[in-house]
Structure 1
Amino acid sequence: MAELLYRIGRFAARRHWTVVGAWLALLALTAVTYVSFAGALSSSISLPDTPTTRVSQQLERDFEGTGGGNGSIVVETTDGEPFTDQQRSAVVDLLDELRAVDGVSDVTDPFQTQDDVDASAEQVADGRRQLADGEQKLRDAQAQINLGRAALRDQRQQAREAGTLAAVREQLAAAQRQLDEGQAELDDQREKVEAEAPRLEQGAILSGLASGFRTVSEDGSAAVVNVVFSAPINEVTVETKEEIETLATDAGIDGVELHPSQEIAQTVPSILGPGEIAGVVIAAIVLTVMLGTALGAALPLVTALLGVGVASLASLSFSGLVEFVSVTPVLGVMLGLAVGIDYSLFIINRHRRQLMRGADVHESIGIANGTSGNAVVFAGVTVIVALLALNVTGVGFLGLMGTVGAVAVLVAILMAVTLTPAVLSLVGTRILRRGERRRLGAGHVAHDDEITDRDQPMSSTRAWTVLAVGVVALLAIAAPATQMRLGLPDGSTQPPDSSGFQAYEVQAEKFGEGSNGPLLVVADLPAAIGEDEVIAEQAAIGERLGNLWAVEAVVPIGASKDRTALAFQVVPRGAPSSESTGALVHDLRELRPTTTDGGEATLGVAGNASANIDISEQLSDVLPTYLVLVVGLSLLILVLVFRSILVPLTATLGFVLSLLAAFGGITAIFQIGFLADLFGVHAPGPVLSFLPIIATGILFGLAMDYQLFLVSGMREAYAHGADARVAVRHGLNAGRAVVTAAAIIMISVFAGFVFSHDATIKPIGFGLAFGVLLDAFVVRMLLIPAAMHLLGDKAWWLPGWLDRLLPDVDVEGAKLERSHPVQDGAAGTMST
C-alpha cells in the first residue's frame, strides 16, 4: 500500500492540474446529479417493525379514518381573553382552507368538538337527573298502588264483617282490576327504566373518563386544531406541511396567534450556520499557527470543503430513492470537515518536515503520501468500518447515517492522498515559512528523527500518578451516564422562538403536559361483539384504562369494522418524554382488562410518544452489541498494526473510558441540566436516542486515528533500538504537536454544531467534541504514555505463533523509507 500511495503522490505532483481538474469535474457532476435526483429530507424518525407501527397498521387497516398521521395547530388569543364570535368565525373559515390542502384528510373544529363534548356531558347529566326523577315517580306510584291495595283489603274485610260482600263484590273486583292494570303499567315502566339505567351509567362512566380531554381551554383563550393526514406522519410530504404552515402563519386573524406543532413545523437543520463557520475559522487559526503560513493553512481547509461538497452532493443525490433523515447529511458534513482537515494536515506536516531535511519537492510529496498517507488510509478505513458496522444494528435510518458518514470519510481519504499532493506540488516550497526557506537555502537542514535529551523518559512515580488521577477523573465524569435515559426531541426542545416550541408551551399550560403526546390504545377483544354492546365494552375497558395512575383522560374513538377491537385516545398526565409516560406505555401493554363477558382484552399502544419510546428502547438494546463489536474490532486492528497484545488492550480500555466519560458529560448537560444555559439547553430531557451508538462508532474511529499517529512513532523508535521507555517519550514528542493541532481542529469543527438551533444536531456536536477532547488530550497524550512507560518492554510482547500468523501491514511506511531514503541536502525546486 505504501509503495502504491508513493506512486499516486508522485503522479499527482507531476499532473497536478489534471488531478485538480478531475476533482472539480467530479464536484460539478455531483451537483448535476443532486439537482436532478435529490428528494426531500424527512424530519421524523421511524422504525418499520415496532409495537407502535404494528398498532398503527392495525388502525389503518381495521378502523375508519384513523390510519393517517396527525399534527396540531394551537390557536390562542393575544390578550388571554376568550375568543370572540368574530375570532371563532375566522378560525373556522381557516379550517376550510386547511381541509383543501392536498394530503390532508380532515381538520377538526375545536369549538364544535368542545361544544359536542360539553353537550354530551350535559345530556348524560340530564339523563341521570331524569332517571332519578323517573325512579322517584315510580317509587311514588308504587306507594300509591300499595296504598290502594291496602285500602281495597280493608274494604273487603269491612264488607265481609257487615255481610254486604256479595253486594259490593263486583265493585271490589273492578277496583282490583284497576290496581292490577296500574301495577302492570308500573312494572313495564320500571323495566324500561332498569334497561336505560345501565346505558346511562355507561355513558356517565365514559363522560367522566373524557372529562380531562378538551379542545378549547377552560378559560376559552386557547384551542387545539387537529389536522389529520391521509398518510402516516413520516410519509407526509414537505410541501403539504409547508402549505399548512403558510396558511396558519398568514391567517392574519386580529388578536389571534396560530402555532403549528412540531409535527407540522419541523424544519430541516442548516448544514452550515454561524456556529459551524466559527468552528472552521478556529481550525484555520490553528492551522496558521502550526504551519506558519496562510497558504499552508488554506490547503487543508480547501481540500476538506471540496471533499464535503462532493460527498454531500453525491449522498443527497440518492435522497429521492431512499428516505433520508434530516440529520444524516449534517453528520456527513461534520465528519467530512473534521477528518478532511486532519488527514490533509498529517500529510502536509510530514512533507514539511522532509523539505526541511533537504528533500526534493516531488520526492518528498511521494514519500509523505506513502508514509503519512498510508497511516491516513489505515486510520480512515478504521473509521469507515466502524460507521458501516452501524448497518449491523438492523436499524435502517442508523445504518444510512453510518453509510453517509463513511462516504464522507472515504472522500476525505481520497482527497488527502490525491488532491493534497497535487496542491502541494503547485505551492512548492512556499508551504514552508520564509525563515525556514532561508535556512534551507543556507544549507541548514533539520534532523528531527534523532533521539535527543528532550526524549528522556518520565519517572515511574509520575506515570503512576498520571494514570491513577486520569482514570479516577474519567470515571467521575462518566458517573452521570448511569442515569442516562434515551428519547427523541419533542416540541419542548425546539428553539424558544420556534412555532413548535410555542405550540408545545401553550398546550402544556392550557391543556396539561400530556396533551402534547396523546396515546392511541387498541383493545383486541376475545370475540366480535354486537353493535348494541359497543358502549358497554367501551365503558368496561375504558374504566380500567382510566384507573391507571398516569392517565388524565380516556376518549373512545370507535370500534373496528368487524367489531373485534376498540380504539381509545389516552391522554397521559406527564409530558411525552417524561418517565411517567414511558411507564404508562409499558403498563398499558401489560394490562389485560376484563370484558363484559368475563374474557380478557389485549392492549396495543401507538402515537408519537409511544413511537419515540419504542425507537429509544430498540436502539438501547442494540447498543451493547454494537459496543462489543467495536471493541472487538479495535483489539483486532491494533494487534495487527502494532504487533502487540498489551498496546491494543490499553488503547481499547482507554477508548471505553473516554466514551463513558463522554456519555457522562452528555447526560449531565442535556438530561440533568448542568451548565445547560451555557450550551443553550433550555429544556433538559432524555438523551437523543441514537446519539450513544453514533458517538460510539465515530469516536472509536477517531480514537484509533490518534492512537495510530502517536504510538506508531513509539513503535518506530523502539524498532530502531531505543529503550522502550525512551521510545515512549520520543514518539510522544514527535507526534504531540500535529495530534494536538488535529484534535483542536476536530473539536472546533464538532463544537461549531453545538450552537445549532436544531435539538438533534446540538447534542451530537457536543458529544463528539467532548469525546475527542477527552480521548485525545487525556487518554492518548496522558494515560497511554503513562501505561506504556509502566509496561516497558512488555508493551511490545507478542506470542511467536501469533507473530508468524499476522501479516506485516507496515502502517508507518518503514519499508518505503528504506527504499526511498530522504537525502539531506539542498531543497529541490520545481517549476509550475
Structure 2
Amino acid sequence: MSSLLYSLGRWAFRARGIVVGAWILILALIGGGALLFNQGLDNAISIPGTESQAALDSLSTTFPQVSGASAQVIVVAADGDTVTDLESQIEASVDALSDLDQVAGAVSPFDENVSGAVNEDETAGLISIQLDGETADITADTKDALRAEIDDLKEALPDGAVAELGGQLFSNNLPTLSIVELVGVAVALVVLILTFGSFLAAGMPLLTALLGVGISMALIFLATAFSSINSTTPMLALMLGLAVGIDYALFIIARHQEQLRGDMSAEESAARSTATAGSAVIFAGLTVIIALLGLGVAGIPFLTTMGVAAAAGVAVAVLVSITLIPALLGFAGDRLRPKPKKPSRRKRKAHAAAAASAEAPVAAPKAEHRPNRFFTGWVRAVTRFPIVTILAVIAVLGMAALPALGLRLALPDAGGLPADDPARVTYDLVSDNFGEGFNGPLIVTGSIVTSTDPLGLMDDLKNEIEDLDGVVAVPLATPNETADTGIIQVITDGAPDSEETKAVVAEIREMHDYFLEEYDVDLSVTGFTAVGIDVSDKLGNALLPFGLIVVGLSLILLTMVFRSIWVPIKATLGYLLSVAASFGIVALVFEYGWFADALHVSQGPVISFMPIILMGVLFGLAMDYEVFLVARMREDYVHSGKARESVETGFVGSAKVVTAAAVIMFAVFAAFVPEGDVNIKPIALGLAVGVFVDAFIVRMTLVPAVLALLGEKAWWIPRWLDRSLPSFDVEGEGLHREIELREWPTASSTDIVSAEGLFLAGARDPLFAGVDVSLPDGGTLIVSGSREASVTALLLTLSGRMKADDGKLKVAGYVLPVRTASVRARVAFVSLSEALDPVRTVTDALRESPRIITLDGIDTVTDAVTRRNLRDALSDAQSEASANERPLAVVVGTAFPDALAEVVPGAAGAVHVALTFSDLSHEAEVPA
C-alpha cells in the first residue's frame, strides 16, 4: 500500500490543480444535490423486534388516534385561584387546537372520559393533544400554529395564570451550531501554528478538514432522500470529521516538514509523506470506520444509519488527506521547509572565543536540531521505575472508572433540554403540579375482539394495573371505535427515564401470562417511554458483543502491524482503561452532577447509544496514537537492536506530533459540550476525556513503561504466527526497501529476475541459503536439487508466492516481498505434479500472457508425448511473446537438469541454480 500511496502522492503533487479542482467540483455537485433533494431530518426511532415497537405498529392500524406524535399543554392557575375558574378559556383553546391541521384531537382536562388531568388541589390542568402522524411527519407550520394558539390562550388567561406547550413533539430540538464550537477550531489553529511554526502549514489541515466536513454533511442531507436520518447524525459526523480531518492532515504535513529539514526535494518528500504517514492515516481511518460500522451489531436502524454516516465522514477525511494534502504541498513548494534553529548561546560564545584567539578564521557554528527536552525528561521519568508507573496509572484510571457503575442510560426527553426552553418549562411544571410520571405515560394495549363486554373489560384491567406498585394513576382505559383494541394510559411514580418507571414496565410485562389466562387479552407495553426503555436494554445487551468485536479486531490489527504478541495485548488493555475512565467521568458529570453547571449540562441519564459510540470512535483514535508512537519505537529497535533505548528515541521522535493531535482532538470534542445538542453532549465529553486519557496517560505514560519493562520480549512473536498473518506496512518499510533497491542490481539492468543472498529457514534446516540469480528477460532458469521441498520453496519465492527470510529479490522490476500482488499478476505458477492434464494446464496459464511461467514438479511428467507437447506449447508462447515485444521467461524446478532439453526450450543455455545442502550453500552456473 505504501508504494501505491507513494505514486498517488507524487501524482497529486504534480497534478495539484486538477486535484484541487476535482474536490471543489465534488463539493459543488454533492452540495447541489443536497439542496435539491434534501427531505429534512427525522427524530423518529424504531427498534424492530421489540414489544413496544410491535405494539406501536399495531396501534397505527387499530387505534391510529393514539399511535402518532403527541403534545401537551399545562395550565396553572394564579395564586388563590383554581383551574376550574379558567374552564371557559381552556375549552375555547381545546376547540381551536382540535381544528388545526394534523391535529387528530385535543382533550380537555374537564373531559368526563378522562381522569387525573386536573391535579388534586385543582391548581393545574393538562390538555392532551394527539397528532395525525409520527413526529417526523408533523410540519413546522403545524408546530407554529400550536405555539400561536397557546400564545392566544396565555393572553386570554388572567394575570398570574400560566400556560405552556410541551410534550413528546417538542422533547427534542434540532441541533444547531454556536460560536462555542468554533473555539475548538481556534484552539486547533493555535496548536497547528505552534507545531509547524508556519501559518501556511497550519491553515492546510483546517482547510482540508472543513472541505471534508462540507462534503460529508452534503452526503448526509442528500441521503435523506432515500432514508430517514436522525438529527444527531450530522452533528456526530461534523464533530468526528473536524477532529480526524485536522489530525490526519497534521500527521502527513508533520512528516513532510521533518523530511524537508534535510536535503529532500519537496516533491519527493510529499510522495514519501503520503506513503508513510498516509499509510498510518488509512490504518487509523479504517479502524474508526470498522468500529462505527460495528454499531449495526445493536440491530437498531437509526443507530446503524448514524454509524454509516459517521463512517462515511471519516472515509472522506481519509481520502481528502491522502490526495488534497500532497496537492496543497505542491502549491506550497519549498516555503514549508523549516528554517534551521540557531546555535545555542553557549556554542556562539565558544565560537567567538575561539575566533578571537585563533589566527586562522574559525568556521561559524552550524545550526542545530535539538531534541525536545520536555519529552526526553518525560519518557525518562516514566521508564525509570516502570512497575511504579504501571501501578500508578492503573490505580488512577481504576478510581476514575468506578463512578461508571452508576451510569444510567435513556433516550432523551424534555427534561434534558435547557432550563429556559418552553418544552423544558412545561416538563418542570408538569412534574411540580402532577408528578414526574405525567411527563411520560405508558400505553398498555391489546386485542379485545373476543370480549362481549369491552367497557367492563377495560375497567377490570384498569383496576388491576392501578394496584401495581409504582403506578399513581390510570387516567384513560378505553376501547377503540370498533371495540377490537383497547388502550390503557398508565402514569408511574417516577420520571420517564427513572428506574421506578422501568420496574413498572417490567412488572406489567411479567404479568402478560396472567392477563392472558384471566382476561384472554394479549397485553403489550408501548409508548415513547417504553420505546426508550427497550432501546436502552437492547443497546446494553449489544455492548458485550460489540466490545468483543472491537477488542478482537484490536488484537488482530495490531499484531499485523507490529508483529508482536505483547504490544497488541498492552494496547488493548490500555484502550479498555481509557474507555472505563471515560465512562466514569461522564457518570460523575451527568449522574452525580460534578461540574454540571460549569459545563452547562443537565444532570440525569445519558443518551442510550453513548457507550457504544464512544467505544467505537475511541477505539480508532487509540489505535491511531498507538501506531504513531510505537511504530517509531519499533523502527528504532529494528535499526539499533537496543530495546530500552528505542523506547526513548522513538517516543521523543513522535511525541510532539501525537501531543498536538491529541490536544486538537480534545479541543474539538470539548467545544461541543457547553452548547452542543443534548444528545451529543455526553458523547462529546466522553470522547474529550477519552482522548486526553488515552493519549497522555495510556499511550504516553503507560505504554513506554510497559515496553521498557518488557525489553526485547515486547517484540517477540512465534514464527508460525508471523508467517500466517498478512503484513500491514504502516510505517512504509516496504517503500523504503523499494527506494533502496531502485538502482539495484544496476540502473541499466534488463534482468527479469535478480536475487542476491536469498535465505529461507525450514522447520529444522534452511530450505535454501545464499542463492543468487541473474535471469535475462526472456531467458530460462533451471533450479535443481535433491531436496524437492527446497526446489519448490525457491520457485514459490521467485514467483511471489512465498516470502524469503533474508536477501534481495526483484522480479519483473518489482521488489519482493513489497510488491507481491504485482509480481503474482505477472508470474504464472504451475504445479505439474497436481495437474490432471499438464499440457492443458500450462496452456491455460500461458493464455494470461505472463512475463514468467514457473513450472514445478516437471519430473513427474514422464510420458514422452506429453513432454514434447509441453515443449511445443512453451516454444510457441515464447515466439508469440517475442513478436509482441514482451519476452516470456521460463523457470523450472527439477532433480534431473540434464533431462530437460526435450521438454524446456532453451534448456541448454539456461541459467542454472543448483541447490546443495552439505554446507547450506549453492552453486550457480551461467553458461557462456
Structure 1 Cα separation of the partners of residues 185 and 488 of structure 2: 52
With 235-244 and 730-739 compared, the bigger mean Cα shift is at 235-244
Q: 1:58 to 1:674 in 2, by over 3 A?
A: same
Q: 1:453 to 1:418 in 2, by over 3 A?
A: closer
SS in 2 for 1:753: coil
Q: What displacement does 1:17 show?
A: 1.9
Instruction: In structure 1, give the amino acid aligned to 2:643.
Output: A
Matches within 5 A, 1:380-779: 380-432=285-337, 462-523=385-446, 528-530=450-452, 533-559=453-479, 563=483, 566-592=486-512, 601-682=521-602, 684-779=603-698
Instruction: In structure 2, give the amino acid aligned to 1:226.
Output: S
Alpha carbons 1:43, 1:268 under 8 Å: kept: no
Structure 1 Cα separation of the partners of residues 326 and 717 of structure 2: 36
Structure 2 Cα separation of the partners of residues 707 and 14 of structure 1: 32
Alpha carbons 2:444, 2:490 under 8 Å: kept: yes
Q: 1:326 to 1:239 in 2, by over 3 A?
A: farther
SS in 2 for 1:65: helix
Structure 2 Cα separation of the partners of residues 425 and 263 of structure 1: 54
Q: What displacement does 1:359 show?
A: 1.3
Q: 1:523 to 1:16 in 2, by over 3 A?
A: closer
Q: Verify: 1:785 aligned to 2:687, yes or no.
A: no
Q: Deviations over 1:706-755 (max 9, x none)?
A: 00100100111111123111111111111101000000000000001101
Matches within 5 A, 1:151-162: none
Structure 2 Cα separation of the partners of residues 596 and 382 of structure 1: 49
Instruction: In structure 2, give the amino acid aligned to 1:307.
Output: G
Structure 2 Cα separation of the partners of residues 459 and 282 of structure 1: 28
Instruction: In structure 1, give the amino acid aligned to 2:631.
Output: S
- List alignment gaps of at least 5 residues for structure 2: 345-363, 743-928
Q: Deviations over 1:118-149 (max 9, x none)?
A: xxxxxxxxxxxxxxxxxxxxxxxxxxxxxxxx
Alpha carbons 1:104, 1:228 under 8 Å: kept: yes
Q: Deviations over 1:597-655 (max 9, x none)?
A: 95564431111111110111011111111110111011110011111111101100110
Q: Verify: 1:366 aligned to 2:274, yes or no.
A: no
Q: Deviations over 1:236-282 (max 9, x none)?
A: 44553344334435666154544321423355444532221111111
- List alignment gaps of at least 5 residues for structure 1: 118-209, 824-832
Corresponding residue number in structure 2 for 1:99: 98
Corresponding residue number in structure 1 for 2:19: 19
Structure 1 Cα separation of the partners of residues 738 and 368 of structure 2: 21
Identity percentage over the alignment? Answer: 38
Q: 1:94 to 1:362 in 2, by over 3 A?
A: same
Q: Deviations over 1:322-353 (max 9, x none)?
A: 11110000010011000000000001111111
Structure 2 Cα separation of the partners of residues 595 and 2 of structure 1: 66
Structure 2 Cα separation of the partners of residues 822 and 513 of structure 1: 74
Q: What displacement does 1:77 show?
A: 4.9
Alpha carbons 1:582, 1:613 under 8 Å: kept: yes
Structure 2 Cα separation of the partners of residues 372 and 699 of structure 1: 20
Higher strand fraction (1 or 2): 2
Structure 2 Cα separation of the partners of residues 504 and 266 of structure 1: 9
SS in 1 for 2:678: coil
Structure 2 Cα separation of the partners of residues 796 and 736 of structure 1: 20
Q: Verify: 1:316 aligned to 2:258, yes or no.
A: no
Structure 1 Cα separation of the partners of residues 64 and 290 of structure 2: 47
Structure 1 Cα separation of the partners of residues 638 and 517 of structure 2: 82
Structure 1 Cα separation of the partners of residues 662 and 713 of structure 2: 29
Q: 1:645 to 1:757 in 2, by over 3 A?
A: closer
Instruction: In structure 2, give the amino acid aligned to 1:72.
Output: Q
Q: 1:518 to 1:454 in 2, by over 3 A?
A: closer
Alpha carbons 1:43, 1:266 under 8 Å: kept: no
Q: Verify: 1:241 aligned to 2:143, yes or no.
A: yes
Which of 111, 120, 133 matches 1:231? Answer: 133
Q: 1:589 to 1:447 in 2, by over 3 A?
A: same
Instruction: In structure 2, give the amino acid aligned to 1:528.
Output: T
Instruction: In structure 2, give the amino acid aligned to 1:6.
Output: Y
Q: 1:107 to 1:822 in 2, by over 3 A?
A: farther
Instruction: In structure 1, give the amino acid aligned to 2:27.
Output: L
Corresponding residue number in structure 2 for 1:108: 107
Alpha carbons 1:515, 1:572 under 8 Å: kept: yes
Structure 2 Cα separation of the partners of residues 289 and 515 of structure 1: 54
**Larger relative contact order (CA 8 Å, sep ≥ 6):** 1
Q: What displacement does 1:68 show?
A: 2.6
Structure 1 Cα separation of the partners of residues 437 and 77 of structure 2: 22
Instruction: In structure 2, give the amino acid aligned to 1:749.
Output: V
Q: TM-score, normalised by structure 1?
A: 0.81
Structure 2 Cα separation of the partners of residues 587 and 312 of structure 1: 44
Corresponding residue number in structure 1 for 2:837: none
Instruction: In structure 2, give the amino acid aligned to 1:309.
Output: G
Structure 1 Cα separation of the partners of residues 172 and 339 of structure 2: 49
Which of 273, 276, 279 matches 2:184? Answer: 279
SS in 2 for 1:227: strand
Alpha carbons 1:593, 1:601 under 8 Å: kept: no
Alpha carbons 1:671, 1:685 under 8 Å: kept: yes
Q: What displacement does 1:11 show?
A: 1.6
Alpha carbons 1:69, 1:230 under 8 Å: kept: yes
SS in 2 for 1:759: coil
Corresponding residue number in structure 2 for 1:303: 208
SS in 1 for 2:672: helix
Structure 2 Cα separation of the partners of residues 100 and 480 of structure 1: 51
Q: TM-score, normalised by structure 2?
A: 0.73
Q: 1:442 to 1:23 in 2, by over 3 A?
A: farther
Q: Deviations over 1:193-215 (max 9, x none)?
A: xxxxxxxxxxxxxxxxx8xx432
Higher helix fraction (1 or 2): 1
Which of 795, 798, 809 matches 2:717? Answer: 798
Cα RMSD for the two superposed structures: 2.9
Alpha carbons 1:669, 1:675 under 8 Å: kept: yes
Corresponding residue number in structure 2 for 1:811: 730
Structure 2 Cα separation of the partners of residues 502 and 49 of structure 1: 35
SS in 1 for 2:66: coil
Instruction: In structure 1, give the amino acid aligned to 2:417.
Output: Q
Alpha carbons 1:467, 1:786 under 8 Å: kept: yes
Q: Deviations over 1:681-701 (max 9, x none)?
A: 33x222210000011110001
Corresponding residue number in structure 1 for 2:354: none
Structure 2 Cα separation of the partners of residues 80 and 349 of structure 1: 71
With 749-758 and 224-233 compared, the bigger mean Cα shift is at 224-233
